Structure 1
Amino acid sequence: MSEPARGYVVHEGCDHIFFVGFLGAGKSTLARNLGNLFHRSFVDTDRLVERARGKSVCDIFAEDGESRFRGYEAEALRRLKGRKSLLVSCGGGIVEGPEACELMHQMGRVVFLDGSFEDSLRQIQHPELRPDFVCESDAQRLYDIRRPLYLREADLRLDIRDKTFEQVCTEAAQLLWEKGLL
């Protein structure tokens, strides 16, 4: 980072912010709202994969398998290398792909939206559209597996437990602003 005479922060190279967290954490909504507030572009890795493959995440899981999907996620991230200052909402399982994790750290900062399993259940409006949500007990097992991975990969952690979306958005904006990332 360098600072020109007028006090603006100029980021050098790739400076994306990647939002990770469990299903229903609000990653996409947060990226979209912060993007609108701070005039930054935002993307969603699941949508990028769907567009590239011409089918839904559920269909990709069913037809190609989860392992191939993780490869498609990494592919989508590689395509973001030439862009600047994106807010990236990542699929809930992106931390299970070592290549994706490495790419996120190469291209920017990883922010973990840390919520409880119960909060996630309340937020998930269409579980049938989530290929890794079969039933509540499977989702709990997945949460237990992924939470340590989110913590391991996080550059920054934002506790979203028992908070309104407005509170999360305000705290995220403040944290990222204070770190010189927005």
Structure 2
Amino acid sequence: MASSIKRGCDHIFFIGFLGAGKSTLARNLGRMFRRPFVDTDRMVEREKGMSVTKIFQREGEPAFRELETEALRSLMGERSLLVSCGGGIVEMPQNIELMHEMGWCVYLDGDFDDSLRQIRRADTRPDFRSKRHAARLYEHRRPLYRAAADITVDIRGRSFTEVSYTCAEILLERGLL
């Protein structure tokens, strides 16, 4: 059984591919357990004063990834956050190290087709250049998510509500909520 004092900040980081429902889950659990939730993409957007898509266009993905790492580092002084992470956060090994240093990673493991159904506006997803590119990205990132995960939650064929309750149950059993 994991102990909530195992790591420094006791944050819970939700990782997974585009459309996995990371933000929805962090928000739902935040409301259920009265814990604050943040979204790393929104943190970067606030810091830069522009959307993730614009950052990708103007400054490129490497610059965005560095901003994402800075956003993670800024959470070190906080406690007990539920953190929705951008789909590519696992691209940088230092991000995985930071998340493990500050808490636990929960991987929302779903199928590529499920992700496609959830993505309503591809133009707001800079990683989504085409269905083919996204499929390659999914295959590339899946082992990274698995390796980073402390906990994996299968989200295939489940509603956001079902995933929220399942995740809450797992986190409560482990003393993390």
Instruction: Using structure 2 for the length normalisation, give the TM-score.
Output: 0.95
SS at match of 2:158: coil
Counterpart in 1 of 2:94?
A: 99
Once residues 158 and 172 of structure 1 are traced to their aligned partners in structure 2, the CA distance between those partners, rounded to angstroms, is 7
Unaligned ranges ≥5, structure 2: none
- 2-structure distance, mates of 1:16, 1:27: 14
Q: Following the alignment from structure 2 to structure 1, what is the Cα–Cα distance between the partners of residues 7 and 144?
A: 28
Partner Cα distance (1:173, 1:28) in 2: 15
Structure 2 counterpart of 1:50, one-letter code: E
Structure 2 counterpart of 1:153, from 135, 148, 154: 148
Dislocated runs of 4+, deviation >6 Å: 9-12
CA deviations on 1:3-53 (whole Å, 9 max, x unpaired) are: 9xxxxx878741000000000000000000100000100000000000011
Q: 1:33 aligns with which of 12, 24, 28?
A: 28
> Counterparts in 2 of 1:127-166, with a 5 A limit?
127-166=122-161
1:58 equivalenced with 2:68 (yes/no):
no
State the TM-score, normalized to the length of structure 1. 0.93
Cα deviation 1:72-97 (Å, max 9, x = unaligned):
01100111000000000000000001
Q: Partner letter of residue 161 of structure 1? A: R
Query: Per-residue CA shift, 1:104-140, capped at 9, x if unaligned?
Result: 0100000000000000000111111000101111110
Q: What residue ranges of structure 1 are gaps of 5+ in the alignment?
A: 4-8
Aligned-pair RMSD on alpha carbons? 1.5
Question: Which shifted more, 68-77 or 11-20?
Answer: 11-20
Following the alignment from structure 1 to structure 2, what is the Cα–Cα distance between the partners of residues 24 and 10? 31
Q: Which has the higher contact order (CA 8 A, sep 6+)?
A: 2
Task: Tell me which structure has the larger Cα radius of gyration.
Answer: 1
Cα distance in 2 for partners of 1:13, 1:91 equals: 22
